[in-house]
């Protein structure tokens, strides 16, 4: 039996049907979408563990449930966005709706957090720290996406950069909500 497969040799097939090297910018971007989604899954799991604790104040519980539900929606967005990237044609029909959801969530996080200045040191609690990891990963995905867009390799993908930029802001807000509800805020003055 021959066990050599194209993947063993560093090749993959995009949804468009085109065969590319695994280090191709589009293949790498698809992998980064997956990595971000998996990291969001860890954030959801940490929030779920906290939500199972007794004695969590009602306001904190409601805020964390909102964040957790938002993360599920983002994971679904990332699946759709990653598929559009792999198809090599931006066909993500719900991109405008996704952008509106991000804007709404950012407004919600702003309303549910204090306006303390300075730089935040991630690590006040596990959920907050994981959300900051997600935010940092999102910025990396955004940089890769802009490289693909600059090379004109994703026709019609202009909304992708906007989505990822707003998502990183939304994840920052989600981390702030978690830290204020669960942890002790560590701020380094500017």
Segments making up each domain of the chain, as ranges: 36-112+124-188
Q: Are 140 and 32 in contact (CB under 8 A)?
A: yes
For residue 44, CA distances in Å to 69, 72, 96, 114 come to 9, 8, 24, 23
DSSP state of 12: E
**Would you state the pLDDT for residue 104?**
97
Report the C-alpha gap between 111 and 41 in whole angstroms: 25
**Would you state the pLDDT for residue 185?**
60
Of 12-21, 33-42, 118-127, 179-188, least confident by mean pLDDT is 179-188
Phi and psi angles of residue 70, each rounded to the nearest 5 degrees, phi first: -60, -40
Q: Name the fold adopted by 36-112+124-188.
A: Hypothetical Protein Ta1238; Chain: A; (1.20.1200)
The string of pLDDT tens digits covering residues 65-94 is 999 999 999 999 999 889 989 998 877 777
Tell me the three state secondary structure of residue 143. Answer: helix
* pTM (predicted TM-score): 0.90
The string of pLDDT tens digits covering residues 152-187 is 888 878 889 999 999 999 999 999 999 988 876 665
């Amino acid at each position: 039996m021959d066990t050599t497969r194209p993947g063993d040799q560093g090749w993959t097939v995009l949804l468009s049907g085109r065969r590319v090297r695994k280090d191709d910018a589009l293949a790498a971007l698809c992998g980064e979408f997956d990595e971000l989604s998996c990291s969001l899954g860890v954030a959801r799991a940490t929030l779920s563990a906290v939500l199972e604790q007794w004695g969590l104040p009602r306001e904190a519980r409601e805020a964390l449930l909102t964040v957790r539900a938002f993360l599920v929606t983002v994971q679904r967005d990332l699946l759709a966005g990653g598929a559009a990237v792999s198809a090599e044609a931006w066909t993500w029909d719900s991109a405008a709706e996704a952008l509106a959801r991000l804007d709404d969530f950012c407004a919600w996080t702003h309303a549910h957090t204090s306006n303390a200045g300075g730089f935040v040191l991630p690590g006040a609690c596990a959920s907050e720290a994981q959300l900051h990891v997600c935010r940092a990963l999102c910025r990396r995905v955004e940089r890769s996406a802009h490289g693909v867009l600059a090379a004109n390799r994703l026709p019609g993908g202009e909304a992708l950069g906007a989505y990822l930029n707003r998502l990183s802001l939304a994840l920052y807000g989600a981390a702030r909500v978690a830290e204020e509800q669960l942890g002790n805020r560590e701020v380094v003055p500017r």
